[in-house]
A and B are shown apart, each in its own frame.
Chain A
C-alpha cells in the first residue's frame, strides 16, 4: 500500500474528529481489564486455600479472560480500518459467553 496522505488523490481515510474508533478501542481494553479484577479475586482464594474446587474455579476464570482477550483483540483489529463495520455475532455473543463463564467460576466458590 502506498503512503496515504500524499497531495492530490482523494483522502483515503478522513480521521474522525470525535476519535470514535479510538474511544471504542479503549472501551474494549477497559472491559478486558475489568475482567482481571474478578479473576484476581478468584486467584486470591485459590492461593489462600488451594483446594481442588478453588483451583478449578481459577482455571475456568482465566479461560474466560483469555476468551475475552481474544474477542477484544479481534474487534480492535476490525476497528483499525476506516469506517469500521458493526460488531459481528462472534464479538457480541463471545463477550456474553465469557462473562457468563466467569459468573459460573464465581459461583463454583460459593
Chain B
C-alpha cells in the first residue's frame, strides 16, 4: 500500500517515467483519458467559481457561515484538481500495463457531498433560516 502510494506520487512529479512502463496504448485511449482529466479540472473550476460566488453574493448570511461555505468549496476544488492528476496518472499506467482501469470512490464521495449540500439548502430555504 505504502509502496504503491509512493510509486504513484513519484509519477505525479515525473509523468515522463510513465513511458518506461509497459507499451504505449492506442493514442485514442490516452486522449479519452486526457478529456476525463480535463472534465475533472472543470469540476474543480466550477467549485472555485462557486466558492467565490458564495462569498460575493450571499451577503445575507453571517460572515462566519459565508466564509466557511466558501472555504469548503475552495478546498473541494483543490481536492478535485489533485484527484484529477492522480486518476489520470493511474489510468495511464494501467493502460500501459494492460491492467484494468483503477476503480475509484471519489465520484460517489463528490455525489454524496453535493446531495447533502442540496438537502441542507432545501432545509434552510424551507425553514426560513437564512437571515432576513
Contacts and interface: CB of A to CB of B under 8 A. Distances in A.
B55 A92 contact: no
Contact of B51 (A27, A85, A106): A106
Contact of A99 (B16, B41, B67): B41
Contact of A20 (B13, B31, B74): B31
A66 interface: no
B27 A84 contact: yes
Interface stretch (B32-40, B98-106, B110-118, B119-127): B32-40
Interface residues of B, number: 43
Interface string A89-110: 1001101100110110011011
Nearest to B46: A34
B85 interface: yes
A27 B77 contact: no
B32 A27 contact: no
B42 to A, nearest CB: 5
Contacts of A35: 45
A93 B13 contact: yes
Contacts of B88: 87, 92
A99 B45 contact: yes
Contact of A100 (B31, B70, B81): B81
B55 A110 contact: yes
A8 interface: no
A30 B31 contact: no
B106 to A, nearest CB: 16
Interface of B: 12-16, 18-19, 24, 27-28, 30-32, 34-35, 37-39, 41-42, 44-46, 48-49, 51-53, 55-56, 67, 70-71, 74, 77-78, 81-82, 84-85, 88-89, 92
5 contacts: A31-B45, A35-B45, A89-B13, A107-B71, A109-B52
